[in-house]
Amino acid sequence: MSSRATLMASLGLLSFSAVYNHLLVSPVLVEIAREMGVSVGTAGLLVTAYGLPGIVVGVLAGPLSDRYGRKPFLVGGTVVMSALTLLGAVAPGFAHLLLTRVGAGVGASVLFPNMNATVADEFPYQERGRAMSTIISLNQLAAIVGVPLAGIIASATSWRVSFALIGVIGLVAAAIVLRTARGSAPPGASDVPVRELYAGILADTSVKGAMASSLLGSLFWFTWITYMVAFFVERYGLPTATASLVVLVTGVGIVGGSQVGGRLGDRFGHRVVVGWTIVFAGVALLAQTAVVRELWLAAVLALAIALLSGARFAGSMTLVSELAPAARGTVLSVNSAIVSIGIVVGTSVGGVLVDGYGYEALGAMATIAGFASALIVWRFVTERAAGFAAGESVD
């Protein structure tokens, strides 16, 4: 196996363990709530506690990874995430468990920006879309397999066993990455002070445009995906278990879409893919929520939205990774924080719209955000694609 293939396999295992770690709480919320003597709503704070550090910690770590390399953050972040998850498996009370999830979230918050930066460091731009799509596919494999597996393990044993298992998997992944990832500083590493580094990238029109597009794109996606199961339950009267199968279909769609989108972007340019996929997904979502009333057609549209979104995910990560190569970790960390903000805003606003105005309003808001995301990426982002055509940017 080539060194690149070995690295991608180790990053894939790392990605799987990080996503699984994020998802393992949701299917066992009821069991945790019962054992800890808290409400399910209170137990849901475990999910929030894991996600919140990503808004701050990753941004602080980004410049350091640009200076000292990705490996310390890939290995150290995974060890922190996994060790705190193992501690959570033996937590004596809810407060202790909550603190371990905050700690695990701190470790996880530096992983995805550095995984994407590592891929970008290793693969030239004209091959990077396919590599990014591999990481995205393994993310979704964790979503497809992880949620039911965590529930099955908890039912057969205890939620604590599920926590312990993913903690061990994460430590194994860290050990493999320790052996396979580059230990030196990334190409083009800079000793520019952090304040100047941020000032430089935030003065770049393409970077600012990409961040705004990412924010609106995350609003589009997470507004829909958060309430998708509820939409099928309330609109079509499906049992929750049946409606939840749409999540599996969505995961498969994202895997397929990312593979196609990564390859199309490598050939024709990622800015084109990022813009048009969210436009078509927005049209599909508007039809889904405001027009369609047949269940079979709604399921087809849900798959189409997932396919298009998967293609956009691969293109977006690849596009952002080349906007400032010398500050790649910083840009990707800021982008990750922006996406986290989009998750918080999208899920909150989506809940208000669903309760007050219905799913039609949710679809309209998400579609407007999607269209705006496409317009911004087309208008303000220059694709710095050194490998395309004669080696010039794609405008």
288-306 pLDDT, tens per residue?
999 999 999 999 999 999 9
**Domain termination site, one of 189, 208, 232:** 189
Q: Computed from CA positions of residues 305, 51, 62, 76, in that sequence, does the dihedral angle turn out positive or negative? A: negative
Distance between CA atoms of residues 149 and 169, nearest Å: 14
The number of domains in the chain is: 2
**Cβ atoms of 383 and 270 closer than 8 Å:** yes
pLDDT surpassing 90 at residue 129: no
By C-alpha distance, which of 308, 283, 288, 267 is closest to 394? 267
In a domain, 394, yes or no: no
- Is 246 contained in some domain? yes
Answer yes or no: do 175 and 92 share one domain: yes
Indicate if 170 and 209 belong to the same structural domain: no
Other CB atoms within 10 A of residue 337 CB: 22
Q: Per-residue pLDDT tens for 93-116?
A: 999 999 999 999 888 888 888 888
The count of residues in the chain is: 395
Q: Averaged over 20-45, what is the pLDDT? A: 79
Question: Does 385 reside within a domain?
Answer: no
Q: Is residue 390 in a domain?
A: no
Amino acid in position 354: V
3 state DSSP class of 394: strand
Q: Which residue matches tokens 């705006």?
A: 372
**Three-state secondary structure call for residue 383:** strand
The alpha carbons of the chain give a radius of gyration, in whole angstroms, of 20
For residue 16, give the CATH number of its domain.
1.20.1250.20
Evaluated on CA atoms 44, 217, 203, 72, the torsion sign reads positive
Residue 161 lies in a domain: yes
Would you tell me how many other CB atoms lie within 10 Å of the CB of residue 284? 24
Nearest to 351 by CA among 213, 230, 216: 230
pLDDT score for 151: 66
- pLDDT at res. 350: 82
- Which of 189, 216, 242 lies at the terminal end of a domain, its last residue? 189
**Is the same domain home to 183 and 213?**
no
What value does the mean pLDDT take over residues 375-380? 95
Q: Does the CA dihedral 326-329-334-335 come out positive or negative?
A: positive
Band the pLDDT of 247: cuts 50, 70, 90. confident
By C-alpha distance, which of 325, 64, 61, 69 is closest to 184? 69
Least confident of 57-66, 157-166, 282-291: 57-66
Dihedral sign of CA atoms 372, 374, 378, 380 in order:
positive
**Is residue 387 one of the residues assigned to a domain?**
no
pLDDT at 147: 64
Q: Are residues 163 and 227 in the same domain?
A: no
Interatomic CA distance for residues 210 and 374, integer angstroms: 10
Please identify which residue in the block is written with the tokens 């941020």: 198
Dihedral sign from CA coordinates of 94, 96, 101, 102? positive
Residues 220 and 180 in one domain: no
Q: What H or E segment, with its residue span, contains residue 111?
A: helix 111-122
31 shares its domain with 164: yes
Task: Note whether 122 and 265 are same-domain residues.
Answer: no
Q: Is 0.75 surpassed by the pTM of this model? A: yes
The pair of three-digit structure tokens given for residue 171, joined into one six-digit string: 């430590």
Do 125 and 180 lie in one domain? The reply is yes
Q: What is the pLDDT of residue 344?
A: 75
Same domain for 155 and 201: no
Residue pair 183/336 in contact (Cβ under 8 Å)? The answer is no
Give the range among 39-48, 200-209, 226-235, 259-268 with minimum mean pLDDT: 39-48
CA-closest candidate to residue 69, choices 180, 181, 201: 181
Over the chain, what is the mean pLDDT? Answer: 84
Residue 323 covered by a domain = yes
16 lies in the same domain as 140:
yes
Tell the residue number behind the tokens 């529930």, with chain if given: 151
- For residue 158, give the DSSP letter: -
Res 381: pLDDT: 93
DSSP code of residue 185: P
Residue 389 domain flag = no
Same-domain status, 155 and 223: no
Residues 152 and 259 grouped into a single domain: no
End-to-end CA distance of the chain: 38
Residue 163 structural domain: 3-189
Inform me whether the pLDDT recorded for 188 exceeds 50. Answer: yes
Residue at which a domain ends, from 168, 189, 210: 189
Per-residue pLDDT averaged across 319-325, rounded?
86
Check whether 391 has a pLDDT greater than 60: no
